[in-house]
Structure 1
């Protein structure tokens, strides 16, 4: 078992917990502040459980917990504090704490909490390992195959890599894969989002600061470049980096050295930089908002991640993975997609890409009423887009059939869509609720009734012509109040054989 880490600036608390844990036969390591604990984490040490005080000099317990979760997400963190107000308690759990100990606490109860945290982590590890392997799943898309091949070629390289792609395409996953398959895999992987940190704090975040460098700098602090020594530094949303920091970053890439904020001694680090952006950096260079020399320093090797709409063949396997992962996280049965639901998901364009698909799967795990997800169970944004696609497809069919019906092609089809739009406007003007649901049901009722009439009431044939399952047709008839005529397949087959 890895040691339990106790992080508290109170010597008495450290001493009591250390003695109690040793008595229980549990390995323990104590730290007087969060900075030294993070340094140990960066050097490869792995705690089984972390107990941390909230209010400490340097980095408070919540900041420490966030950084531990960013680097070792499976590590349970137990918060200790003498400030037992509601806000602190709620904040602890909202930020991912395993449990909360109010000082003064019973030592035996604390030991039980530590054992429970360690056991739950041990029980969850096989599941977490499986999820980690599935995070960068095999892909059948040619564009992703090129990305995988590039990762393999870059395994022995120290070249700077620029990852481009829309938001949500998995740029950080690719950066982590580059790190894990490189010769730096044993070193740290440090991720920084340049767009998420206020510009006046980003410099100190990247390069660190000396004591007294600015108000509040009560002690020296290492920056992300130092923390990534011997490993990989992932700079996400590099296109949002302020101009003054671009100059400093250029010097690090060119010379491998930098100064802390307020420092006078140059620091040299061995770090591989992987940058990512969803913005067209060439355009920002042309606009003067991004340094051209920095762009060329970053753009040594470029990997473009395709949006999910360009790799629809992967949607089924990704959805199955995300449904399994979210079910395991929530402790509920895994949802499966009906063919109609999967077809709708595969038609959706995913402006949020893989992240949006993952969010949809989490939504379905919570909101779907049964283990089999039907099309009607999908979230509104998918259903609305799928309904629009259905209208477009129906219009194309009507236009194609117009000459056979003796109608000018430009007049067949638009009439009913214009009528539908007018009906929608009237309903919206009356402030009717659920206009989309009402019109969707009307549309389905009309199409199903037409298919049943065309097939002479034979539900199997109607379902095949509509491209849906027979059970789905029967369910929709019940839901929409459509009379299916009671026709079955067997009487038809018997009549056709002459019996």
Structure 2
């Protein structure tokens, strides 16, 4: 018996209301549609009927996983375009769909007109060209349902598999290094090192050696040969932060590396092969710096082939409540405290603030609230004036850091809380947490290299190894 002609669009969601709304919208557009309540029903229909052009699936359903369904559908019918619906707005869930081979993902709650347009486009492209190849991207702790952030998530998903140089632009505090980590972590180079250097933070006379290394005797004090960041990042990713502040003479050397794929150590005679992918970032307006003669135009064009702009927080205000919840939970975990939560009124006031320091400023504010807010539920009156670091700066806890919480005041506050609660192991517990956080930070800055972390901390290599074991920091 011949198979009946299948509908062009299949929808699977355990939520009957979602199925109903999409069915009615697609039928109004004369797009034939068929709805299912579970992945098992979809797989059974694939066995019995001709496949659809587009499958629209929820990502999490009782008794089934949308990504597992995606994988099975792609295995059986590679040309089916799959759109994943997700109510989860973190990057892992959002672009995990792209990583697994989806045509696109649709964040809930979605605009119905936009959803129909996306489904129609998927059907047209599936019919004409087949389904798009899978793309990789995921990074925990990057959150956002705002359209501007959804565009960033998609870009990360599509750029991750590439070896091409990427330029990330955006104001300070928007998360440029997080994006660089995402591009590395889900690239073919993920098993290699991720090496980051802030070119604005290294003195001009040391930056060349930091980047390219030096030979013994290359200059006064060069008593041994040293590998530079390009060598350390071999097979992985080199992240050049604040590239707009790089001195002109080093811009010339960087251009040669990007053009020729080779470089020399300072004082070296033998060319070395550059095998690291370069990701650069800046908060500067590079076009303006080119006009001022402070940035090479040819390097600008070399870097600007693939550009990813991160939106400031004021362009994604709808993400502020979710980000605040996330940072409050993380701060509580780091400080060993119970997580605090915002009242609706406090949440609304936060969403109205300017946050010139962007996500970093919001994160610092949440740390401050974790320690300084008097109750577990944060009310509007607990927020600093204007909801930003300027208000927090009036407190003694922030005076030493110009607005961000002073760690010594935070430590004192936490010690007082524990002592007043009658704890008898305050010294041991807080000392362990202090040492653990210090070691984690040093290892992160040193890219996981214990010897370098120990050197920067001013302790011996045996000491850092012992402390890591004592504190249970081993992977």
- When Rg is computed on C-alpha atoms for both structures, the one with the higher figure is 1
* From 281, 289, 296, the counterpart of 1:284: 289
* From 302, 309, 313, the counterpart of 2:307: 302
Q: In the TM superposition, what are the counterparts of 1:337-376 in structure 2 within 5 Å? A: 337-376=342-381
Secondary structure (helix, strand or coil) at the match of 1:135 reads coil
Aligned residues: 254
Secondary structure (helix, strand or coil) at the match of 2:355 reads coil
Q: Give the Cα–Cα distance (whole angstroms) in 1 for the partners of residues 198 and 385 of structure 2.
A: 31
**Counterpart of 1:257?**
262
1:136 pairs with 2:150 = no
1:207-230 deviation line (CA, Å, top 9, x unaligned): 001111112211011000000001
Q: Give the Cα–Cα distance (whole angstroms) in 1 for the partners of residues 311 and 389 of structure 2.
A: 24
Asked if the contact 1:376/1:383 (under 8 Å) is kept, the reply is no
Question: 1:385 Cα shift?
Answer: 9.2
TM-score normalised by the chain length of structure 2: 0.52
Q: Give the Cα–Cα distance (whole angstroms) in 2 for the partners of residues 147 and 384 of structure 1.
A: 27
C-alpha RMSD of matched pairs (Å): 1.6
Q: Give the Cα–Cα distance (whole angstroms) in 2 for the partners of residues 383 and 179 of structure 1.
A: 32
Q: Give the Cα–Cα distance (whole angstroms) in 1 for the partners of residues 290 and 341 of structure 2.
A: 47
**Compared with structure 1, are the counterparts of its residues 322 and 210 closer, same or farther at alpha carbon in structure 2 (3 Å cutoff)?**
same
Q: Give the Cα–Cα distance (whole angstroms) in 1 for the partners of residues 319 and 220 of structure 2.
A: 51
1:147 pairs with 2:147 = no
**Counterpart of 1:67?**
none
Asked if the contact 2:353/2:386 (under 8 Å) is kept, the reply is no
Q: Which runs of 5+ in 2 are unaligned?
A: 1-137, 392-475
Question: 1:383 Cα shift?
Answer: 7.5
* From 204, 220, 223, the counterpart of 2:225: 220
Asked if the contact 1:151/1:181 (under 8 Å) is kept, the reply is no
Question: 1:133 Cα shift?
Answer: 5.6
Question: 1:135 Cα shift?
Answer: 1.8
Question: 1:308 Cα shift?
Answer: 0.4
Q: Which runs of 5+ in 1 are unaligned?
A: 1-131, 387-499
More helix by share: 1
Q: In the TM superposition, what are the counterparts of 1:422-441 in structure 2 within 5 Å? A: none
Asked if the contact 2:145/2:318 (under 8 Å) is kept, the reply is yes
* From 358, 374, 377, the counterpart of 2:382: 377
Q: Give the Cα–Cα distance (whole angstroms) in 1 for the partners of residues 307 and 177 of structure 2.
A: 14
Q: Give the Cα–Cα distance (whole angstroms) in 1 for the partners of residues 315 and 139 of structure 2.
A: 23
Question: 1:344 Cα shift?
Answer: 1.1
Q: In the TM superposition, what are the counterparts of 1:100-119 in structure 2 within 5 Å? A: none
Q: Give the Cα–Cα distance (whole angstroms) in 2 for the partners of residues 379 and 267 of structure 1.
A: 53
**Compared with structure 1, are the counterparts of its residues 384 and 247 closer, same or farther at alpha carbon in structure 2 (3 Å cutoff)?**
closer
Asked if the contact 1:323/1:365 (under 8 Å) is kept, the reply is yes
* From 272, 280, 283, the counterpart of 1:275: 280
TM-score normalised by the chain length of structure 1: 0.50
Q: Give the Cα–Cα distance (whole angstroms) in 2 for the partners of residues 176 and 384 of structure 1.
A: 27
**Counterpart of 1:315?**
320
Secondary structure (helix, strand or coil) at the match of 1:191 reads strand
Q: Give the Cα–Cα distance (whole angstroms) in 1 for the partners of residues 223 and 390 of structure 2.
A: 54
* From 326, 330, 341, the counterpart of 1:325: 330
